[in-house]
């Protein structure tokens, strides 16, 4: 599996989100989900929406665009005061923005009018933390001016504390905000929808207060993702604090002195380091550095000490532990480390674990429907690479017999190379890749479809043809729609040479496949063994940049529209190939 990587436990995030929504609702407060901690990662954000969040907020327009492009269904709020140069994009891509500058609001108004858009504004008030916000004494004057503008509407007041100045959002500050809101509503004849009292730092105030006053909204990020409040970073009861795991890999493991040898001058970052002589020690290097993550915010889950880091190396005193080359180590991250790891393109991101089968299946089906809508819109820049036969490759592969005579199991050139590398990785583990299917002509696809329809018909003689076709279409695409016609799709399983059998993936008996929702790749109700085997299968394909199908753990795509969509690419390069002879 790729390292370094962040493993994201979606089940834990869903749990945290639901628990917080319920908790804050108990005193009439709605929460906005703040997504900057995960850079608007659509898979994660989708979990927030499915868990009941209606408004998503991010400080970056690019993250908001990313979520929109992925078809996330929510209202979008821009957290950071808009840059005047981006005012047009702000009204185009967001529904609401937090604001504190009249000049900028005028620009928003201009572009809102131009695009016939109604843009909502929450005015930020500075209650003493001294980051963003209008000083309370200047509010009236600002509001008078904003009310004259068309296309923009003040829908709320907000404040942000405990961010720059570390000022606590306590009952005094929240009462002050309520009071200001009352005055403004009366004086300006406004009805403010949002009185947004702050962020994850408001937890202690919320728990202690008997009356939240007019405060009816909070913007919450860190509590959802890391399960803590942010005044003292104390875990919130019932929440998970380990939804994110940073994983890195040992690349050197030696016994070396604790004291550098030679004249000490500046290190790689212009500092002059100091060391103490603790004799010889077990020094381990991991493939993780400052370009991957803010290293002072990571904490090993194993009892080892971080000695230091450079751009690409993390040096560890592994104390009594024997950490061999290739071994993986897990770390917790604080919020700054999470932000940096999620931002770094060198760090792979992987979603894992759903707690509950129903939740998981709903999520898969939701994702699948969204997928069907978005797929036709993915641009294809066909690169015309050849189809090559895997059958004649000489790679160490097993081929599942095909319904087509003389089937040659063809794939595009890059896919061919990838399969070659995968087969060699499995060779080293006494395993063999089974190719179930590769490129299919329309005739082949039609044959498969008709074969399955007649099989299901025999099984359910009373069902209408329409019903049967719907059942079949769940797992076999009708002729024109299969990714297999691109040469970028491969169906695969693994044969274990030591056990002399096809591995158990939870829905198969050898090559015979039970088609049901347990075929969804991360279904929680399959055996531990089957989960491990799926993990192996999916990981070796993901390491070669394939994506696993949303519904079938054995189906992998590369280069086609499905891949482009799942992998976040702006275009695909393998379109449909109707006849192999063309190449
Ligand atoms: C980041 C941010 C938040 C969320 O803060 P958390 O501590 O992650 O809950 C809320 N409001 C604004 C303006 C922010 O920039």
pLDDT tens sequence across 528-549: 899 999 999 999 999 899 999 9
Boundary residue ending a domain (351, 366, 397): 351
Dig out the tokens for 84 from the structure: 């005047």
pLDDT surpasses 80 at 353: no
Which CATH number fits the domain that encloses residue 344? 2.40.30
Confidence of residue 581 (pLDDT cuts 50, 70, 90): low
pLDDT of residue 355: 61
Average pLDDT over residues 384-389: 94
Please give the helix or strand (H or E) that residue 146 lies within, else none. Answer: helix 139-147
Cβ(426)–Cβ(433) under 8 Å? yes
pLDDT of residue 242: 92
Considering the domain architecture, whether residues 321 and 391 belong to the same structural domain is answered as: no
Q: Give me the domain span that covers residue 19.
A: 10-226
Asked whether residue 233 is domain-assigned, the answer is no
Range name among 97-106, 113-122, 534-543 with the lowest pLDDT average:
534-543
Boundary residue ending a domain (165, 195, 226): 226
pLDDT of residue 554: 97
150 CA distance to ligand 1 centroid (A)? 29
pLDDT of residue 260: 85
Considering the domain architecture, whether residues 142 and 43 belong to the same structural domain is answered as: yes
Across the chain, mean pLDDT equals: 92
Average pLDDT over residues 247-260: 91
Asked whether residue 4 is domain-assigned, the answer is no
Considering the domain architecture, whether residues 442 and 542 belong to the same structural domain is answered as: yes
Asked whether residue 396 is domain-assigned, the answer is yes
Protein residue closest via CA to atom 6 of ligand 1: 221
Structural domain tally of the chain? Answer: 3
Rounded Cα–Cα distance for residues 382 and 384 (Å): 6
Considering the domain architecture, whether residues 28 and 65 belong to the same structural domain is answered as: yes
Q: Higher pLDDT residue, 342 or 443?
A: 342
Q: Which atom of ligand 1 lies nearest, measured to the CA of 221?
A: 8
**pTM tops 0.85:** no
Ligand 1 proximal residues by C-beta, below 6 Å: 34, 36, 59, 79, 98, 160, 199-200, 219-223, 230
Confidence of residue 480 (pLDDT cuts 50, 70, 90): low
Cβ(110)–Cβ(59) under 8 Å? no
374, 418, 455, 559 from 570: Cα distances, Å:
12, 22, 39, 11
Ligand 1 pocket: which of 82, 127, 163, 201 to mutate (most atoms <8 Å of CB)? 163
Dig out the tokens for 431 from the structure: 């395993």
Asked whether residue 3 is domain-assigned, the answer is no
Asked whether residue 38 is domain-assigned, the answer is yes
Query: How many residues can be counted in the chain?
Result: 583
Question: In the chain, count of helices (H) and strands (E)?
Answer: 16, 26
Rounded Cα–Cα distance for residues 276 and 279 (Å): 9
Mark out the alpha helices in 344-441 (DSSP H runs): 357-374, 413-427
pLDDT tens for each residue of 268-314: 778 877 788 888 889 999 999 999 999 999 999 988 999 999 999 99
Radius of gyration of the chain (CA): 28
Range name among 3-17, 189-203, 341-355 with the lowest pLDDT average:
341-355
Percentage of the residues of the chain whose pLDDT score is greater than 90: 70
Protein residue closest via CA to atom 7 of ligand 1: 200
Asked whether residue 108 is domain-assigned, the answer is yes
Asked whether residue 498 is domain-assigned, the answer is yes
Boundary residue ending a domain (200, 226, 252): 226
Which CATH number fits the domain that encloses residue 147? 3.20.20.10
Considering the domain architecture, whether residues 21 and 111 belong to the same structural domain is answered as: yes
Considering the domain architecture, whether residues 200 and 112 belong to the same structural domain is answered as: yes
Confidence of residue 582 (pLDDT cuts 50, 70, 90): very low
Q: Which atom of ligand 1 lies nearest, measured to the CA of 34?
A: 4
pLDDT of residue 401: 92
Considering the domain architecture, whether residues 380 and 399 belong to the same structural domain is answered as: yes
Average pLDDT over residues 55-69: 96
pLDDT of residue 583: 42
Rounded Cα–Cα distance for residues 43 and 566 (Å): 10
SS3 assignment for 262-275: CCCCCCCCCCCCCC
**Strand partners for 490:** 556
């Amino acid at each position: 599996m790729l390292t370094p990587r962040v493993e994201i436990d979606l089940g834990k995030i869903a749990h945290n989100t639901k628990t917080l929504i319920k908790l804050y609702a108990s005193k009439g407060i709605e929460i906005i989900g703040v997504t900057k901690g995960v850079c608007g990662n659509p898979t994660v954000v989708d979990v927030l929406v499915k868990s009941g969040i209606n408004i998503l907020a991010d400080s970056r327009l690019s993250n908001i665009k990313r979520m929109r492009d992925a078809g996330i269904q929510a209202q979008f709020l821009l957290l950071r005061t808009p840059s005047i140069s981006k005012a047009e994009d702000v009204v185009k891509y967001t529904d609401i923005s937090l604001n504190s500058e009249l000049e900028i609001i005028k620009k928003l108004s201009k572009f809102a009018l131009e695009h016939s858009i109604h843009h909502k504004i929450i005015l930020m008030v500075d209650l003493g933390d001294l980051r963003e916000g209008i000083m309370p004494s200047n509010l009236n004057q600002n509001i008078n001016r904003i009310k004259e503008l068309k296309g923009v509407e003040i829908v709320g007041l907000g404040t942000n504390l405990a961010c720059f100045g570390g000022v606590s959002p306590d009952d005094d500050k929240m009462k002050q905000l309520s009071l200001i809101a009352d005055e403004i509503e009366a004086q300006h004849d406004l009805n403010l929808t949002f009185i947004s009292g702050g962020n994850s730092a408001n937890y202690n105030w919320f728990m202690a207060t008997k009356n939240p006053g007019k405060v009816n909204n909070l913007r919450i990020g860190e509590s959802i993702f890391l399960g803590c409040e942010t005044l003292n970073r104390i875990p919130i009861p019932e929440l998970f604090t380990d939804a994110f795991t940073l994983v890195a890999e040992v690349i050197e493991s030696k016994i070396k002195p604790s004291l550098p040898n030679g004249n000490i001058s500046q290190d790689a970052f212009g500092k002059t380091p100091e060391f103490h002589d603790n004799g010889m020690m077990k020094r381990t290097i991991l493939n993780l550095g400052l370009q991957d993550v803010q290293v002072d915010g990571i904490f090993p889950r194993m009892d080892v000490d971080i000695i230091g880091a450079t751009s690409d190396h993390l040096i560890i005193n592994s104390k009594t532990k024997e950490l061999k080359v290739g071994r993986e180590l897990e770390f917790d991250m604080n919020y700054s480390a999470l932000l940096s790891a999620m931002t770094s393109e060198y760090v792979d991101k992987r979603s894992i674990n759903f707690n509950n089968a129903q939740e998981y299946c709903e999520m898969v089906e939701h994702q699948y429907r969204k997928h069907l809508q978005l797929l036709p819109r993915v641009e294809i820049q066909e690169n015309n690479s050849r189809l090559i036969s895997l059958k004649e490759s000489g790679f160490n592969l097993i081929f599942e017999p095909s319904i087509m005579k003389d089937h040659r199991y063809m794939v595009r050139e890059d896919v061919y190379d990838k399969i070659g590398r995968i087969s060699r990785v499995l060779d080293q583990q006494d395993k063999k890749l089974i190719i179930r299917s590769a490129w299919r002509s329309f005739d082949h696809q039609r044959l498969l479809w008709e074969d399955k329809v007649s099989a299901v018909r025999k099984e359910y003689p009373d069902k209408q043809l329409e019903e049967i076709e719907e059942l079949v279409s769940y797992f076999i695409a009708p002729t024109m729609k299969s990714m297999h016609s691109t040469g970028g799709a491969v169906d695969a399983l693994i044969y274990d040479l030591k056990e002399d059998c096809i591995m158990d993936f939870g829905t198969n008996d050898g090559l015979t496949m039970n088609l049901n929702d347990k075929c969804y790749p991360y279904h929680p109700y399959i055996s531990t063994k089957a989960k491990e085997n799926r993990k192996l299968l999916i990981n070796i394909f993901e390491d070669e940049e394939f994506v696993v199908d949303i519904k079938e753990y054995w189906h992998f795509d590369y280069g086609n529209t499905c891949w482009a969509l799942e992998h976040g690419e702006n275009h695909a390069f393998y379109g449909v190939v109707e006849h192999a002879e063309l190449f």
